[in-house]
């Protein structure tokens, strides 16, 4: 049986521990209450800067020559000469001889025609002299006889008309023979680049035989498709508008300047596009960077001018409104007038004022008048980078 001491000792230790715990608890001070801190959404802004803008309409197309000619023989014969430039890719000047057809038969025909002309001319002069003699004789007879009307045959008028007709026919034969002889020279009708050659030296050609094809290098044309809704951004439907043409040449971007000279005047049945035609003068004049036929180009057609506008990312406009940060750093919505959307941007012309702060951050639950705070980190980072550069 436990003694009285064994029972009281544990009780005394327990009571002592409770007393010590109570004492320490009484000495501990309650935590200081801190005021509740409200954290407002952090946003980034972009200052509104309204400025004049030149609208551009994008398009594309292939470079083609304005004039392309198929060289065709007009007389028959054998090709006895070919120019070294009469090869695919060769450049020729206007009037330059590209090929020669054997002229012997045509030179002989010209000699015969000139001989016939000389005979006809001689016969005409003899007949004119005889007609003069007949007229003089009739005048002498008329003075000594009663007045009568001489016959045209007596005055040799029909004979004179016959000789005159033969003379004119001989002149025509000479002209035809000279023309045929001239046609034995195959010449370039204009400054051009040779696209193809069909025959070789020694080939026999007939009237209508194709010798080759050449393209004029004076003017290049590019057909540019434009969607119907884009035409409203062009002055006078694009006619006489300047156009910037770009392409990759040897891995480098090259730009040429052209002008819209006409519209094809119809809407394509398949693409539903309207085609404008741009021209570039002397496309091969720059030997370092020629505008070669067949090049694929991207084009920017100069459109109408807007006196006061700003490009805004399209996702910042909701229900025709944009979010702005006012002077008290509160959110406010403002309607804007958008006249065009292209490449993810909207062009706003009304509703914004220079100096306003356009919110560019995405807000989860934006409401009118909600308090915001401005993100200055980008500016501080920029200042830090500037300071490092100056050091």
The reported pTM is 0.72
Predicted pLDDT of residue 329: 87
**Topology of domain 67-95+189-216, CATH:** OB fold (Dihydrolipoamide Acetyltransferase, E2P) (2.40.50)
Tokens standing for 387?
Answer: 């300071």
What CA–CA distance (Å, rounded) separates 150 from 345? 99
Predicted pLDDT of residue 87: 94
Q: What are phi and psi of 324, to 5 degrees?
A: -120, 155
What 3-state DSSP class applies to 370?
A: coil
What 3-state DSSP class applies to 381?
A: helix
What CA–CA distance (Å, rounded) separates 165 from 156? 14
Query: In CATH terms, is domain 45-53+307-386 a member of 2.40.420.20?
Result: yes
Predicted pLDDT of residue 41: 80
Q: Which CATH superfamily is domain 217-303 in?
A: Efflux pump adaptor protein, beta barrel domain (2.40.30.170)
Asked if residue 138 lies in contact with residue 150, where contact means CB atoms within 8 angstroms, the answer is yes
What CA–CA distance (Å, rounded) separates 83 from 117? 35
Please report how many Cα atoms fall inside a 13 Å half-sphere around the Cα of residue 197, on the Cβ side. Answer: 20
Predicted pLDDT of residue 378: 47
Predicted pLDDT of residue 222: 97
Predicted pLDDT of residue 386: 37
Predicted pLDDT of residue 368: 87
Write out the chain's pLDDT in tens, 391 residues.
456 666 666 666 666 666 676 666 656 565 666 666 667 788 888 899 899 999 999 999 999 999 999 999 999 999 999 999 999 999 999 999 999 999 999 999 999 999 999 999 988 888 787 777 767 776 766 665 555 665 666 566 777 788 888 889 999 999 999 999 999 999 999 999 999 999 999 999 999 999 999 999 999 999 999 999 899 999 998 999 999 999 998 889 999 999 999 999 899 898 899 999 999 999 999 888 899 999 999 999 999 999 889 999 998 888 889 989 888 888 899 999 898 888 889 999 888 888 888 888 888 888 888 888 886 654 434 443 433 344 3
Dump the DSSP string for 303-318.
EEEEEEEEEEEGGG-B
What CA–CA distance (Å, rounded) separates 76 from 74? 7
**219 closest CA partner among 365, 344, 373, 63:** 63
Report the DSSP pairing between strands 337-342 and 296-313.
unpaired
What CA–CA distance (Å, rounded) separates 369 from 391? 43
Asked if residue 358 lies in contact with residue 324, where contact means CB atoms within 8 angstroms, the answer is yes
What CA–CA distance (Å, rounded) separates 156 from 136? 12
Asked if residue 337 lies in contact with residue 351, where contact means CB atoms within 8 angstroms, the answer is yes
């Amino acid at each position: 049986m436990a003694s009285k001491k064994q029972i009281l000792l544990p009780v005394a230790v327990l009571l002592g521990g409770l007393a010590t715990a109570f004492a320490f608890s009484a000495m501990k001070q309650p935590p200081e209450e801190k005021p509740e801190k409200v954290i407002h959404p952090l946003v980034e802004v972009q200052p509104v800067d309204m400025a004049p803008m030149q609208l551009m309409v994008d398009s594309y197309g292939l470079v083609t020559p304005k004039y392309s000619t198929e060289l065709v023989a007009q007389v028959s014969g054998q090709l006895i000469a070919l120019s070294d430039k009469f090869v695919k890719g060769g450049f020729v000047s206007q009037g330059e001889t590209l090929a020669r057809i054997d002229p012997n038969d045509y030179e002989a025909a010209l000699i015969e025609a000139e001989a016939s002309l000389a005979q006809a001319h001689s016969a005409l002069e003899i007949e004119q002299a005889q007609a003069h003699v007949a007229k003089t004789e009739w005048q002498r007879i008329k003075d000594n006889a009663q007045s009568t009307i001489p016959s045209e045959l007596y005055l040799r008028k029909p004979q004179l008309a016959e000789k005159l007709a033969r003379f004119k026919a001989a002149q025509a034969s000479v002209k035809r023979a000279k023309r045929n002889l001239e046609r034995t020279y195959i010449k370039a009708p204009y400054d051009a680049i040779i696209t193809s050659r069909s025959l070789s030296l020694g080939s026999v050609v007939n009237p209508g035989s194709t010798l080759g094809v050449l393209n004029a290098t004076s003017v290049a044309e590019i057909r540019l498709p434009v969607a119907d809704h884009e035409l409203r951004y062009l002055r006078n439907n694009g006619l006489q508008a300047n156009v910037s043409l770009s392409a990759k040449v040897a891995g480098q971007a090259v730009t040429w300047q052209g002008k819209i000279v006409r519209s094809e005047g119809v809407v394509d049945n398949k693409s539903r596009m309207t085609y404008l035609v741009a021209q570039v003068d002397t496309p091969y004049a720059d030997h370092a960077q020629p505008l070669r036929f067949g090049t694929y180009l991207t084009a920017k057609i100069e459109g109408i001018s807007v006196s006061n506008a700003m490009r805004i990312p399209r996702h910042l406009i909701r229900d025709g409104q944009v979010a702005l940060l006012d002077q008290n750093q509160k959110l406010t919505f403002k309607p804007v007038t958008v006249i065009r959307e292209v490449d993810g941007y909207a062009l706003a012309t009304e509703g914004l004022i220079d100096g306003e702060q356009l919110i560019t951050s995405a807000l989860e639950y934006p409401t009118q008048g909600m308090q915001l705070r401005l993100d200055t980190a980008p500016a501080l980072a920029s200042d830090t980078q500037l300071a490092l550069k100056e050091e």
